[in-house]
Structure 1
Amino acid sequence: MKTATVRDLRNQFPRVAAWIQNGEEVGITKAGKLFARLVPVAPAPARKLVKPDIMAQLKATWGDRVFSAKEVAEMRAAELEGEEG
């Protein structure tokens, strides 16, 4: 463990910060006695992103059905008429 004085923190903080960023623990001394430690922050655990299973939802709603272009056009037209009226 590296050590630095309170004066070092005040006058040479970038150097002490570099030690910490490189994973070093730094002991802080005052009047020649160790009174504190600065340690790097532990990295946050990676969170797993949960994605919805869109294909399963589609299959549950529509099954294996495949719509023709004509059916899709009719459904869209019906939706648009419903929104306007």
Structure 2
Amino acid sequence: MKRASVRDLRYSFNKIERLLRQGQEIEITKRHTVIARLLPEAQGTVKMPDFIGRLRAIYGDQIPATTGAEIVAEDRDRY
């Protein structure tokens, strides 16, 4: 595990970012005391929910009479 100071974060972030992209954990120190730990983001793609499939499962081929935006606008106009 690598160590970097708060100053390194401020002035040498490119080096720290490169280490994170390589998969290394970095401890952040302030006055030689560890105050945080940076972990690399898990590699991989996040699968988005199938919103269109959900709408088709609920409504089938019908088109709702009002949209969600219209419902929100009506609710905001009440106040």
Q: Decide whether aligned partners of structure 1 residues 28 and 45 sit closer, same or farther in structure 2, where only a CA change above 3 A counts.
A: same
**Greater relative contact order (CA < 8 Å, ≥ 6 in sequence):** 2
For residues 21 and 42 of structure 1, what CA distance do their matches in structure 2 show? Answer: 10
2:35 paired with 1:35: yes
For residues 6 and 46 of structure 1, what CA distance do their matches in structure 2 show? Answer: 31
* TM-score (normalised: structure 2): 0.55
> 1:46 Cα deviation (Å)?
7.0
Q: Of Structure 1 and Structure 2, which has the larger fraction of its residues in helix?
A: 1
Aligned with 2:19: secondary structure? Answer: helix
Which residues of structure 1 form unaligned runs of 5+?
Answer: 48-85
Root mean square deviation, CA, Å: 1.9
Of all paired residues, the percent bearing the same amino acid is 40
Which residues of structure 2 form unaligned runs of 5+?
Answer: 48-79
Structure 1 runs of 4+ with >6 Å offset: none
What is aligned with 1:16? Answer: 16
1:5-84 maps to which residues of 2 (within 5 A)? 5-44=5-44
Tell which structure's C-alpha radius of gyration is larger: 1
* TM-score (normalised: structure 1): 0.51
Any idea what the Cα deviations from partners look like across 1:27-56, whole Å, max 9, x if unmatched? 000011001011111124675xxxxxxxxx
Give the AA of the match of 1:38: L
Any idea what the Cα deviations from partners look like across 1:54-76, whole Å, max 9, x if unmatched? xxxxxxxxxxxxxxxxxxxxxxx
